[in-house]
């Protein structure tokens, strides 16, 4: 008889990737997230190498090591980043190895958040490659005794055309050793790019598909303990008493440790609780389930979603703090229309929940391995909590099974480090899905009030927008009660609407949970509200939604919120380099409508909806086609997305990000909602916090990338905001019923 064994999906993939008859792939790039205790690059084994800067190391065997200082969570940065450096370096793509950087300030910002990896570091990456190229040219010129100006680099070598001499990069390492490292160099012309702007396969694709990729949860160290932590149901609560007798009787349980009480404000610190440590994860979780704990739920035990929702809507409907004003938004009008939009708490819910491993070495130093988006912040937080010098802390970055902002916080890494210090052994902390939904940093709940006035011709002459939500700043500053100016700049204060009289107000809201970043942050609900309301105005005015949308955006112009008294940070970039360009917004609206065949005849029960939004310096238009059956169930049949992100490094990754944004946006539009009762989050897993399943996915998601001469904008986050309003607007087109609250399942539509 054949042996019947249970194996994991990962084991299956490993075996089928290695066995005869399976698919076998070749990978040029070194796997950078291996679980060995001593992670060293190949350069350590070579006789000589030279580092023109912290991002590039050239070995005497001709291999160029490129240091990836950003975190890979499926967005493809470990492919796009070397594309930029290798292009300016004139490197041979097949002679590059990628090394994942540990957390350190020498790499500039490592925070893989806010779609900043390319848009904020494009020139930095180009400079890393260009200075390395010029160093090789200078070394060759010195070796040959010829002017630098007579030498050029291409295809991994330096050439002197006059004499016909050529030297490969590896051959120039000895000559370059000790030469001054150039700080800046001239960039290549756009028409000379070899890799930038070209589709390139994801270098981690083989590891992903064969199960050999190393994520935070995969790290294993000798003599390691596994920890599972029971935390207070309500944010900020503390342990008053606990009994671990039954927990210690569970086979495999080694110890039970009470963590220090949480501190306020929480920032990125731990939440306290009781940890069960065992020889495996299952035993740790079973021991945790056997704990008997009495809690003081603290001040947030009062938090329940339904009454809070009423308070939040009441806040949004009352006068708030004026943050932008143009003309007189209270001027009389022939017709007035108002609406309130509401969106609930959401979880980032990455497929891989947070996981971190930590150990202390004999010299008192601490090492951590984690699926972190921000190893520098993790290092700083660990130093503060542990009370040791930052230089004694090393944070190794693994691959991330999704992040969406959750893993930029280091609380789970702090937990592992505290337990490793307490036990004297390496400790891995693994969060469950329930932990992730109930104890993470939530996407904030929001309410928005809109009022528009129209004259006798139907032209929109006034608009009032109030927005109310607990602020992310409450995580850092106790007592913060309303939106921060940075949050208002995420789709509210930078509104493109061409209305002569307009006012924006922010309204107070008290946080009762840890509020954190979420893919596209406040743009999600601001786009939902504003694009939904503008679609309402189309119906009232008797106009086609696309025609109305383009008219509301108005003529091509650059919008500066400062002209109307608004404070605007523009995602950390200047308005001169990255203006709020309404012409680009209109262009993506018209293009995506054309892609979808806007205006075509549709069967009964079908509708098209459109929405556009600028965020993270990119412009995205979305059209959804939905159908509603006789039972009232909604299906998203097809979606179209168009993005103008300026210069694009890897079109394949952009298309993937847009497709992912469509699925992510569908999940929050159709299903996404976290609620609280007596301070505790009610949902615990995907049965109560559903995400879009395969049978719900549109038959096709179409993506178009606009050609653009503009500097790079964001890609990972901008695709999300217009998806939900496009679906909601399509539902109205199909049924005539307006929805102003997410998710749609709350209206009995799914």
Statement: residue 44 has pLDDT above 60: no
Whether the Cβ atoms of residue 37 and residue 26 lie closer than 8 Å to each other: no
Rounded to whole angstroms, the Cα distance separating 169 from 163 reads: 18
Give the model's pLDDT for residue 318: 98
Rounded to whole angstroms, the Cα distance separating 31 from 728 reads: 43
Rounded to whole angstroms, the Cα distance separating 269 from 382 reads: 9
Q: What is the dihedral of CA 378, 216, 213, 16, to 10 degrees?
A: 180
CB contact set of 84 (below 8 Å; sequence gap of 6+):
118, 122, 125, 126, 129, 195, 196, 649
Q: Where are the beta strands (DSSP E) in 101-235?
A: 151-154, 157-160, 165-168, 225-230
How many residues does the structure list for the chain?
A: 750
Which tens digit of pLDDT belongs to each residue from 583-593?
999 999 999 99
Q: Indicate the average pLDDT of the chain.
A: 93
Strand pairing class (56-59; 49-53):
antiparallel
Same-fold call for 223-299+354-430 versus 305-347+441-747: yes
Statement: residue 37 has pLDDT above 90: no
Among 505, 508, 612, which Cα is nearest to 552's? 612
Give the model's pLDDT for residue 482: 87
**CATH pick for 305-347+441-747 out of 3.30.365.10, 3.30.300.30, 3.40.50.1970, 3.40.50.2000:** 3.30.365.10
Rounded to whole angstroms, the Cα distance separating 406 from 693 reads: 22
Of the CA atoms within 13 Å of residue 339, those in its CB half-sphere come to 20
**Is residue 117 packed enough to be buried (19+ CB in 10 Å), middle (13-18) or exposed (0-12)?**
buried
Give the model's pLDDT for residue 272: 97
Phi, psi at 112, each rounded to 5°: -85, 80
Give the model's pLDDT for residue 35: 42
**Residues facing residue 627 across a β-bridge:** 606, 635
Give the model's pLDDT for residue 528: 98
pTM, whole model, 2 decimals? 0.93
Would you state the structure tokens that stand for residue 70, as one six-digit string?
Answer: 């950003």
Whether the Cβ atoms of residue 613 and residue 726 lie closer than 8 Å to each other: no
Whether the Cβ atoms of residue 363 and residue 470 lie closer than 8 Å to each other: no
Phi, psi at 230, each rounded to 5°: -95, 120
pLDDT tier at 563 (50, 70, 90 boundaries)? very high
CB contact set of 47 (below 8 Å; sequence gap of 6+):
60
pLDDT tier at 747 (50, 70, 90 boundaries)? low
Positive or negative: CA dihedral 553, 559, 564, 566: positive
Rounded to whole angstroms, the Cα distance separating 538 from 211 reads: 50
Statement: residue 42 has pLDDT above 80: no
DSSP tag of 659: H
Q: Is 547 helix (H, G, I), strand (E, B) or coil?
A: helix
Domain boundaries, the chain: 42-210, 223-299+354-430, 305-347+441-747
Among 108, 112, 52, which Cα is nearest to 78's? 112
Q: Where are the beta strands (DSSP E) in 150-250?
A: 151-154, 157-160, 165-168, 225-230, 238-243
Rounded to whole angstroms, the Cα distance separating 351 from 374 reads: 18
Per-residue 3-state assignment (H helix, E strand, C coil) for 566-602? CCCCHHHCCCCCCCEEHHHHHHHHHHHHHHCCCCCCC
Residue whose entry in the numeric block shows the structure tokens 């404000």: 265
Among 447, 445, 444, 501, which Cα is nearest to 318's? 447
pLDDT tier at 745 (50, 70, 90 boundaries)? confident
Rounded to whole angstroms, the Cα distance separating 153 from 185 reads: 13
- Mark residue 723 as left, alpha or beta (left: phi above 0; alpha: psi -120 to 50; beta: remaining): alpha
Which tens digit of pLDDT belongs to each residue from 204-251?
999 999 999 999 999 999 999 999 999 999 999 999 999 999 999 999
Before 265, cis peptide (omega within 30)?
yes
Radius of gyration of the chain (CA): 27
Give the model's pLDDT for residue 302: 97
pLDDT tier at 357 (50, 70, 90 boundaries)? very high
Residue whose entry in the numeric block shows the structure tokens 């809690």: 295
Q: Give the long-range contacts of residues 219-222, CB within 8 A, separation 24 or more.
A: 219/35, 219/355, 219/357, 219/369, 219/398, 219/428, 220/35, 220/428, 221/37, 221/357, 221/359, 221/426, 221/428, 222/37, 222/426
Is the CATH number of domain 42-210 3.30.365.10? Answer: yes
Rounded to whole angstroms, the Cα distance separating 337 from 244 reads: 60
Q: Cβ of 714: how many Cβ atoms within 10 Å?
A: 25
Give the model's pLDDT for residue 197: 97
Statement: residue 505 has pLDDT above 70: yes
Would you state the structure tokens that stand for residue 552, as one six-digit string?
Answer: 């509301």
Q: Cβ of 15: how many Cβ atoms within 10 Å?
A: 13
Give the model's pLDDT for residue 29: 32
Q: Please compute the mean of the pLDDT values over residues 517-532 and round it to a whole number.
A: 98
CB contact set of 304 (below 8 Å; sequence gap of 6+):
676, 677, 678, 679
% of the chain with per-residue pLDDT over 90: 92
Whether the Cβ atoms of residue 482 and residue 437 lie closer than 8 Å to each other: no
Rounded to whole angstroms, the Cα distance separating 539 from 520 reads: 28
Give the model's pLDDT for residue 746: 73
CATH of domain 223-299+354-430: 3.30.365.10
Start-end of H helices in 331-484: 375-386, 411-423, 433-439
Positive or negative: CA dihedral 290, 294, 300, 303: positive
Which tens digit of pLDDT belongs to each residue from 85-104?
999 999 999 999 999 999 99
Cα 169 to chain centroid distance, Å, stands at 36
Rounded to whole angstroms, the Cα distance separating 91 from 87 reads: 7
Rounded to whole angstroms, the Cα distance separating 736 from 729 reads: 10
């Amino acid at each position: 008889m054949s042996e019947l064994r249970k194996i994991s999906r990962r084991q299956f993939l490993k075996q089928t990737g290695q066995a005869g008859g399976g698919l076998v792939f070749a990978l040029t790039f070194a796997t950078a997230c291996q679980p060995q205790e001593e992670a060293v690059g190949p350069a350590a084994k070579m006789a000589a190498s030279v580092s023109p800067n912290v991002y590039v190391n050239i070995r005497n065997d001709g291999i160029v090591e490129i240091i990836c200082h950003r975190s890979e969570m499926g967005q493809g940065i470990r492919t796009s980043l070397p594309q930029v450096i290798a292009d300016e370096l004139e490197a041979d793509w097949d002679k590059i190895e990628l090394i994942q950087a540990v957390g350190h300030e020498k790499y500039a910002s490592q925070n893989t958040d806010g779609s900043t990896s390319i848009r904020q570091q494009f020139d930095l990456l180009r400079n890393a490659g260009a200075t390395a190229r010029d160093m090789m040219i200078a070394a060759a010129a010195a070796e040959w005794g010829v002017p630098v100006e007579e030498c050029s680099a291409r295809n991994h070598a330096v050439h002197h055309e006059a004499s016909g001499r050529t030297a490969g990069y590896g051959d120039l390492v000895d000559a370059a050793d000790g030469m001054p490292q150039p700080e800046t160099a001239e960039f290549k012309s756009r028409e000379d790019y070899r890799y930038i702007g070209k589709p390139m396969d994801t270098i981690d694709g083989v590891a992903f598909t064969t199960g050999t990729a190393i994520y935070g949860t995969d790290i294993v160290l000798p003599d390691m303990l596994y920890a599972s932590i029971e935390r207070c149901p309500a944010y900020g609560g503390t342990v008053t008493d606990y009994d671990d007798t039954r927990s210690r009787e569970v086979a495999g349980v080694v110890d039970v440790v009470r963590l220090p009480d949480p501190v306020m404000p929480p920032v990125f610190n731990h939440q306290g609780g009781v940890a069960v440590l065992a020889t495996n994860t299952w035993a740790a979780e079973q021991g945790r389930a056997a704990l008997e704990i009495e809690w003081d739920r603290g001040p947030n035990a009062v938090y329940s979603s339904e009454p809070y929702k009423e308070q939040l809507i009441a806040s949004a409907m009352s006068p708030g703090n004026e943050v932008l004003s143009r003309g007189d938004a209270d001027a009389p009008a022939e017709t007035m229309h108002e609406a309130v939009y509401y969106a609930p708490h959401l979880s980032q819910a990455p497929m891989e929940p947070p996981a971190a491993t930590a150990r202390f070495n004999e010299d008192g130093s601490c090492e951590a391995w984690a699926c972190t988006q921000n190893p520098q912040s993790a290092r700083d937080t660990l130093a503060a909590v542990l009370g040791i010098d930052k230089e004694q802390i090393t944070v190794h970055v693994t691959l991330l099974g999704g992040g969406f902002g959750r893993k930029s916080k280091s609380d789970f890494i702090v937990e592992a480090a505290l337990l490793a210090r307490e036990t004297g052994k390496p400790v891995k902390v693994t969060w469950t899905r329930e932990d992730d939904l109930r104890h993470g940093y939530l996407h904030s709940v929001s309410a928005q009030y809109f009022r528009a006035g129209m004259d006798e011709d139907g032209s929109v002459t006034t608009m009032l927008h109030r927005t109310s939500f607990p602020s992310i700043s409450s995580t850092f500053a106790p007592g913060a009660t309303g939106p921060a100016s940075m949050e208002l700049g995420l789709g509210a204060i930078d509104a493109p609407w061409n209305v002569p009289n307009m006012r924006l107000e922010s309204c107070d809201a008290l946080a009762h949970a840890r509020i954190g970043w979420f893919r596209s942050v406040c743009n999600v609900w601001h786009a939902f509200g504003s694009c939904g309301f503008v679609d309402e105005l189309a119906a009232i005015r008797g106009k086609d939604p696309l025609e109305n949308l383009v008219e509301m955006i108005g003529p091509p112009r650059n919008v500066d919120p400062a002209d109307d008294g608004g404070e605007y940070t523009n995602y950390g970039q200047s308005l001169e380099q990255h203006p709020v360009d309404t012409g680009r917004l209109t262009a993506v609206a018209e293009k995506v409508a054309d892609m979808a065949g806007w205006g075509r005849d549709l069967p009964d029960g079908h509708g098209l909806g459109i929405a556009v939004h600028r965020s993270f310096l990119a412009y995205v238009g979305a059209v959804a086609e939905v159908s509603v059956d006789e039972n009232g169930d909604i299906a998203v049949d097809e979606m179209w997305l168009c993005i103008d992100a300026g210069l694009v490094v890897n079109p394949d990754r952009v298309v993937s990000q847009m497709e992912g944004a469509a699925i992510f946006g569908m999940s929050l539009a159709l299903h996404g909602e976290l609620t609280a009762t007596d301070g505790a989050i009610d949902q615990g897993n995907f049965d109560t916090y559903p995400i879009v399943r395969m049978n719900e996915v549109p038959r096709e998601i179409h993506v178009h990338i606009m050609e653009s001469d503009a500097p790079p904008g964001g890609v990972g986050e901008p695709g999300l905001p217009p998806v939900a309003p496009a679906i909601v607007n399509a539902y109205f087109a199909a049924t005539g019923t307006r929805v102003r609250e997410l998710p749609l399942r709350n209206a009995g539509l799914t």
